[in-house]
Amino acid sequence: MTEPAPETWDASGRYTVAQYFDLVRQGVLQPDDRVELLEGVIVVMSPKNPWHDTAVNCALQALLRAIGNRAAVRCQSTLLLPPGSAPEPDIAVVPGTMGDYVAAHPSTALLVVECADTSLPQDRLSKSRMYAAAGIAEFWIVSRRDDAVEIFRDPDSANAVYRSRRFAGRGEQVALIALPAVDVQVAELLPPSVPRDWRA
């Protein structure tokens, strides 16, 4: 006799964080599947390309240099935002040290950074709302299209929006709200300027 399938979504058809990780434990999702849970929906991540990989590494190195041991800087790692989101942001600056997250993923961040080429609409609309709803103080998009960093601040959790949004370009520097002694040069966050049709 066949066992009934486990209940893996709520009445709205959306997964919770716990149900999402149950799918991994059951083998329905594999650990190396390029998916993430966004507001209860399992979403396939955009394919990587040379610009994106370079942007992630530029931003990672810039933040590591600027932050030092004041916080932990995680790259493309899970961030738990219950009840229905478990994104894997390109970079998350989280409180404490790496050792604080050996047994559990972080559930908050001081700063989240996404590097956007083809993913810009999703990052700007869906992810900004998700991070604002979670009360994350600051969200940056390293934008290929704008050759700038788009900075979202002052989250309104109830309405899932950031009240402040501005662009910072090459030649400017940005201070982190949660770490006011930390300044980052925008030019260090962005890959070197190259023609749009450049290919590795």
Domain extent, residue 134, equals: 50-189
Confidence of residue 200 (pLDDT cuts 50, 70, 90): very low
Is the entire prediction scored with pTM above 0.85?
yes
**pLDDT tens digits, residue range 11-70?**
467 999 999 888 988 989 887 788 999 988 988 887 788 999 999 999 999 999 999 999
The DSSP string of 42-65 is EEEPPPP-HHHHHHHHHHHHHHHH
**Residue 8 within a domain:** no
Q: Which residue has the tokens 């810009």?
A: 120
Angle at 131 between CA 128 and CA 133, to 5 degrees: 105
- In 3D space, the residue among 1, 27, 113 whose CA is nearest the CA of residue 62 turns out to be 113
State the Cα–Cα distance between residues 198 and 200, nearest whole angstrom: 7
CATH at residue 83: 3.90.1570.10
Residue 24 is assigned to a structural domain of this protein? no
Is residue 159 assigned to a domain?
yes
Count of domains in the chain? Answer: 1
The three-point CA angle 57-179-90 to 5° equals: 25
